[in-house]
Amino acid sequence: MFDRFSDNAKKIMSATRQEAIRLRHDYIAPEHMLLAILQQPCTARDLLVAQGMDLDTLREALLSVLDQTGGTKASTGQLPFTPEGKRVLEGSLAEASRLGHSYIGSQHLVLGLLHVPDSLPAQVLTRLGVDLEQLRAAVQGTIPLAERSRTRLLLISNSTMHGGAYLEHCGNEIRDCLGPRKRVMFVPYALHDHDGYTERARNAFVALGHELFSVHERNHSPRALDDADAVFIGGGNTFRLLAALYHYGLLSAIQARVLAGMPYVGSSAGTNVATLSIRTTNDMPIVQPPSFTALQLVPFQINPHYLDPDPNSRHMGETREERIRQFHEEHGTPVLGLREGCMLRVEGERMALRGSTAARLFRRGMAAEEFTPPCEMSFLLQPDPA
């Protein structure tokens, strides 16, 4: 198990032992792990801060309890894990597996702490307002580039072009992306009429030479992915789509399969949920998902159906560009505006812009840039491109 630990996780485990020794304990327990996380620069600590946690307050709350039960024994030898400590490690492994991660990082360790609700760290974290599901959703944003090396994605701005049939303008790209993979699982949740939407998608994919079934026809079960060679998520309302993915436990299941190499095709809302979050969707929040965190298949934001300002318009409302600038007042993540007819093809660490229209890239503090297909945009897949 420890051979799967990241470098930071290994450092945390070393610091965990030192915390136990400092407190004169002859064992390693969950509280030692949390104290180590708080002193070690790592993803887990950043996640706690992002959840609104004051680290000094957390450390003081933890130590105030430990001082009342302070140890009297000192040991410099091998320290055994308590049963709770072992359960934390098991929970960390389970969280990494559930997320489809091949490594165990500091973020999995902090989730493992919350896996043991009767432990001191879990009680303190819960009392200070840390929620397991929110933290779990945030962890999905920590996928390193190496973990995305097998992804095969086609992210389409729109499903229908004026004058054409459903998916007609991107049919060749879909066929090329899927290759010989014939059975496609469709996710219809962005629209209310699941049966009607599935029939429309099925007809389009049959015309392309592929079979299609909908996950709602399989009782919304994540196990439906076992019968599929690829997944397609269509457009509609992004908030409704993401809420359903969370509700049925499909978000992490789809993410794990796509990171393992299953081709993913998304259009409109399906493209939105492939990114870090749905914060740059155009849709109204008609329902409230538990989090805006999405599939995290690419490390940037997309604004599908991007519209340029009309210089002749008398409408005085905000333009799409102004709304993206407002996003950048709060976040540093790049936003790629995909005009209708535009799409992205991702193959591991390579990404190309395809289609018939140009894309507009927005980065905080920089002038917007235009990219005309076909062109390489692999630089956006690198960590912290902003």
Q: What's the pLDDT tens digit per position in 319-332?
A: 899 999 999 988 78
Same-domain pairing of 266 and 211: yes
Among residues 106, 252, 268, 277, which one is catalytic? 268
**Nearest-angstrom CA–CA distance, 94 and 139:** 14
Say which CATH number the domain at 81 has: 1.10.1780.10
| Final residue of a structural domain among 95, 123, 139 | 139
Same-domain pairing of 83 and 171: no
Same-domain pairing of 230 and 104: no
User: What are the DSSP calls for 214-238, one per residue?
Assistant: EGGGGTT-GGGGGG-SEEEE--S-H
Same-domain pairing of 197 and 301: yes
Q: What is the mean pLDDT of the chain?
A: 88
Same-domain pairing of 121 and 163: no
Q: What's the pLDDT tens digit per position in 49-95?
A: 767 778 888 888 888 877 655 555 655 668 999 999 999 999 999 88
The pLDDT, as a whole number, for residue 142 is 59
Best CA proximity match to 298, nearest among 381, 179, 202, 221: 381
Looking at this protein, which amino acid is placed at residue 147? E
> Among this protein's residues, is 32 annotated catalytic?
no
Instruction: Tell me whether residue 157 is in a domain.
Output: yes
CB 341 within 8 Å of CB 357: yes
Instruction: Please name the residue ranges forming H helices in 208-292.
Output: 238-247, 250-259, 269-272
Same-domain pairing of 48 and 123: yes
Same-domain pairing of 208 and 122: no
Say which CATH number the domain at 274 has: 3.40.50.880
Of the two residues 77 and 286, the one the predictor is more confident about is: 286
* pLDDT of 383 over the 80 cut: no
Among residues 267, 277, 283, 328, which one is catalytic? 283
Instruction: Tell me whether residue 238 is in a domain.
Output: yes
Grade residue 195 by pLDDT with cuts at 50, 70 and 90: very high
Instruction: Tell me whether residue 38 is in a domain.
Output: yes
Same-domain pairing of 17 and 85: yes
Of the two residues 373 and 246, the one the predictor is more confident about is: 373
| Final residue of a structural domain among 87, 106, 139 | 139
Same-domain pairing of 248 and 294: yes
Quick one: which H or E segment has residue 183? strand 183-187
Instruction: Tell me whether residue 256 is in a domain.
Output: yes
Tokens describing residue 352: 């190309």
Same-domain pairing of 151 and 87: no
> Among this protein's residues, is 277 annotated catalytic?
no
The pLDDT, as a whole number, for residue 134 is 74
Cα 198 to Cα 125, 188, 253, distances in angstroms: 43, 6, 20
Cα 232 to Cα 29, 37, 235, 253, 355, distances in angstroms: 44, 39, 10, 14, 18
The pLDDT, as a whole number, for residue 386 is 29
| Domain ranges, residue 92 | 2-139
* pLDDT of 384 over the 60 cut: no
Same-domain pairing of 162 and 81: no
> Among this protein's residues, is 92 annotated catalytic?
no
Instruction: Tell me whether residue 11 is in a domain.
Output: yes
Task: Please state the rounded mean pLDDT for residues 121-141.
Answer: 78
Instruction: Tell me whether residue 193 is in a domain.
Output: yes
Same-domain pairing of 105 and 161: no
Q: How many domains does the chain have?
A: 2
**In the chain, pLDDT over 70 holds for what percent of residues?**
91
Question: pTM value?
Answer: 0.68
Among residues 220, 247, 305, 331, which one is catalytic? 305
Instruction: Tell me whether residue 386 is in a domain.
Output: no
| Final residue of a structural domain among 110, 139, 168 | 139
Instruction: Tell me whether residue 186 is in a domain.
Output: yes
